[in-house]
Amino acid sequence: MISIDKYAYNSRLRRRDPMQKLVFAMMTLSVCIWAEKIIISIAVIFIMGGMTVLKGGTPFPFFLRLLLVPMIFLLVGVFTIAVNICENQEMLLWAIPFAGKWIGFSDASLVKSLKLFLRALGAVSCLYFLSLNTPMVDLLAAFRRLGMPKVFVELMELVYRFIFSLMETADTIYNAQNCRLGYSSLCSSYRSLAIMASMLFIKSYKQSKALYTALEARGYEGEINVLEEAYESHWGWYIMAVAVNALLVLFVIALKSITGGLS
Amino acid sequence: MNENILETKDLHYIYADGAVALKGISIGIKKGKCTAVLGANGAGKSTMFLNFNGIYRPSSGQVLFNGKPIDYSRKGLKELRRKIGMVFQDPDNQLFSASVFQDISFGVVNMKLPEKECRRRVDNAMEQIGITHLRDKPTHSLSFGQKKRVAIAGVLAMEPEVLVLDEPTAGLDPIGVSELMKMLRQIQTTLGITVVISTHDIDIVPLYCDYVFVMYHGMMVLEGTPKQVFTQKETIRDINLRLPRIGHLMEILKYKDDFDLDDSINTISEARIALKDWKARYLKR
């Protein structure tokens, strides 16, 4: 999570208007989910990966590693779809007998699971494009412009800011406990962890009060208002987003008319 | 002419749990000067500061700003906090935004100025503090010293008349301390802003401050220029503080080793002059 944050701040696309990136990512994500085509899913992965790696400057190995994260969940999920139980061995490509029936993969179930797998990966790559090129602060600015309730945006902002502070504190407490053998046995580990949790709560509460005082000293009146950053923004990006997705949609329609909506 | 920008008259403050933090403080802070409030931990420095800008209300007594008692109405407090900028000890408690730029802009935006003016002030403040290069950095990637500077910039952008800093040098490395104090001195002289700091870093006081108040257990025990205050050696030692290192050295040289030196000297440059002078006298003999 922290490295995603780091790459987002260093992305070459960072200064681009977050709204444009959001629109591009969401549009492509919708097309990818709607299309249900293997080729489209692969295309989306390549487009988003290419944009992130070539335009944004995220190292390719890191992007690959990120794609591996949902892979485990996906494989497990997809496996259950690919496996069929059948009474007739002929219907399955490969099967093993089990309690008088057959368990195995069929032609259709394999295609179906592959489709689902790639579709999910395509959707994830859209989100990775967004999060690897848009720091949270910019994304929140886009949400604000979209008219999301202020309370939510402010909460998200504060949560994001203090997650790092909380992790740092937790780390310090953990080290301090570890130095005094707080994690030497299972029993003491549980105890230390409980103490840490309660300490974190108390510290957070204290810090929130201190923060409120500090905000008050700068004229806080119940609303956090700040200046928005100036972003690079011209229509080219919207046109690009629409053009890419129109191409994908056209391609899908063409495919459907050729194959008669079969695959 | 009343040159005190900030004054307290018999200020008492008692916390909700009954702890008495301030016991009748009467001080006057001079306009355009750099004033230090010295005191051991728990002497009441922070409590007094929070009384300055109306975050706390005195249990009895008065706080006066520019000769007038503080107006505790909503509007009055808003005006007061615009004019008295407060920088807290732990920047992590003050910086709420993940973006340096947005955090600095918070106070200015609350003043409801036109956007162009807000941007100008934010840019100005970043330049004065020397953190323009941090503008696009996320807050959580900054070092402690950098966070401290961002916190100061966020207050300075509001263009206050008084800049109150609670333990500004605590937790900084030696270079960081002298850089920060030089910067504050520069803000004070070039922008004419009154600077008030609390500290228990005694050696910076004779170097960078014009006037000192010494607090002990919620009371003001000494006040004066650093030179005047540090000649009250007994009192200083009684309240768990010490002399500046150079002052201590001069005292030992004078009283233990019978050097003919002025023991009210507290800085290296003054000591150097005095020692050179002593050498010249010695060689003449």
Torsion of CA A76, A80, A82, A87, to 10 degrees: 150
B103 contact partners, CB below 8 Å, separation of at least 6: A226, B95, B96, B97, B139, B150, B154
**Residue A3 contacts B where some CB pair is shorter than 8 Å:** no
The predicted structure's pLDDT at residue A263: 47
Query: Would you say residue B1 has pLDDT above 50?
Result: no
**Cβ contacts of B118 on chain A, cutoff 8 Å:** 227
**Cβ contacts of A13 on chain B, cutoff 8 Å:** none
- Out of A160, A220, A224, name the one closest to residue B98 (CB): A160
B138/A157 touch (CB, cutoff 8 Å), yes or no: no
Using pLDDT thresholds of 50, 70 and 90, give the confidence band for residue B2.
low
Taking residue A200's Cβ as centre, other Cβ atoms within 10 Å add up to 15
The structure tokens listed for B235 are 């009192």
Residue ranges in chain B assigned as alpha helix (H): 45-52, 74-83, 91-94, 100-110, 115-129, 144-156, 174-191, 204-208, 226-230, 233-238, 245-255, 268-284
How much is the average pLDDT of B104-130?
93
**Residue B99 contacts A where some CB pair is shorter than 8 Å:** yes
- Out of A135, A137, A219, name the one closest to residue B81 (CB): A219
**Residue B103 contacts A where some CB pair is shorter than 8 Å:** yes
CA distance B89 to chain A (A): 10
Spell B235-253 as b/e; 16+ CB within 10 A means b.
ebeebebebbebbbbbbeb
Nearest to A199 by CA among A230, A231, A176: A176
B102/A220 touch (CB, cutoff 8 Å), yes or no: no
A256 vs A138: CA distance, rounded Å:
39
- Which stretches of chain A score pLDDT less than 70? 1, 260-263
Query: Would you say residue B71 has pLDDT above 70?
Result: yes
The predicted structure's pLDDT at residue A93: 78
All structural domains of chain B with their residue ranges? 4-241, 244-285
The predicted structure's pLDDT at residue B262: 86
B150 vs B152: CA distance, rounded Å:
5
> Helix B245-255 to helix B268-284 angle, to the nearest 10 degrees?
30
The predicted structure's pLDDT at residue B72: 93
Instruction: Count Cα atoms within 13 angstroms, Cβ side, for A14.
Output: 18
Q: What percent of chain B has pLDDT over 90?
A: 86
What is the chain A residue with the closest CA to B135?
Answer: A229
**Cβ contacts of B141 on chain A, cutoff 8 Å:** 6, 9
pLDDT digits (tens, 9 = 90+) for B122-156: 999 999 999 999 998 899 999 999 999 999 999 99
**Cβ contacts of A5 on chain B, cutoff 8 Å:** 138
Return residues 116-155 of B near A (CB < 8 Å).
118-119, 122, 136-141, 154-155
Three-state DSSP at A232 gives strand
**Residue A174 contacts B where some CB pair is shorter than 8 Å:** no
The predicted structure's pLDDT at residue B203: 92
Residue ranges in B114-158 assigned as alpha helix (H): 115-129, 144-156
**What is the interface size between A and B, counted as CB pairs within 8 Å?**
100
How much is the average pLDDT of B9-37?
94
The predicted structure's pLDDT at residue A82: 85
**Chain A interface mutation, best of B99, B105, B120, B144, highest count of A Cβ atoms under 10 Å:** B99
The structure tokens listed for B73 are 């109405």
**Cβ contacts of B148 on chain A, cutoff 8 Å:** none
**Residue A222 contacts B where some CB pair is shorter than 8 Å:** no
**Residue A165 contacts B where some CB pair is shorter than 8 Å:** yes
What is the chain B residue with the closest CA to A211?
Answer: B93
**Chain A interface mutation, best of B80, B92, B144, highest count of A Cβ atoms under 10 Å:** B92
Return residues 130-149 of A near B (CB < 8 Å).
135-137
Eight-state DSSP code of residue A230:
P
Q: Considering only A98-112, B42-56, B190-204, which range has the smallest mean pLDDT?
A: A98-112
- Out of B107, B118, B140, name the one closest to residue A218 (CB): B107
B70 contact partners, CB below 8 Å, separation of at least 6: B54, B62, B63, B64, B76, B77, B80
φ, ψ of residue B12 in degrees (nearest 5):
-115, 145
ipTM above 0.90, yes or no: no
**Residue A262 contacts B where some CB pair is shorter than 8 Å:** no
B162, B193 Cβ separation under 8 angstroms: yes
pLDDT digits (tens, 9 = 90+) for A52-87: 999 999 999 999 999 998 888 898 888 888 888 877
φ, ψ of residue A221 in degrees (nearest 5):
-130, 35
The predicted structure's pLDDT at residue A1: 65
All structural domains of chain A with their residue ranges? 2-142+233-259, 149-217
Query: Would you say residue B221 has pLDDT above 90?
Result: yes
The predicted structure's pLDDT at residue A260: 61
Burial class (CB in 10 A: 0-12, 13-18, 19+), B214: buried
B38, B213 Cβ separation under 8 angstroms: yes
For the domain B4-241, what is the CATH code? 3.40.50.300
Burial class (CB in 10 A: 0-12, 13-18, 19+), A65: exposed
B94 contact partners, CB below 8 Å, separation of at least 6: A211, A214, B87, B88, B151, B154
What is the chain A residue with the closest CA to B138?
Answer: A9
**Residue B55 contacts A where some CB pair is shorter than 8 Å:** yes
The kind and range of the H/E element at B8 are: strand B4-14
Distances (CA, A) of A6 to A132, B97, B186: 9, 16, 35
Three-state DSSP at A255 gives helix
Query: Would you say residue B64 has pLDDT above 50?
Result: yes
The predicted structure's pLDDT at residue A92: 77
The predicted structure's pLDDT at residue B257: 92
- Out of B82, B96, B119, name the one closest to residue A211 (CB): B96
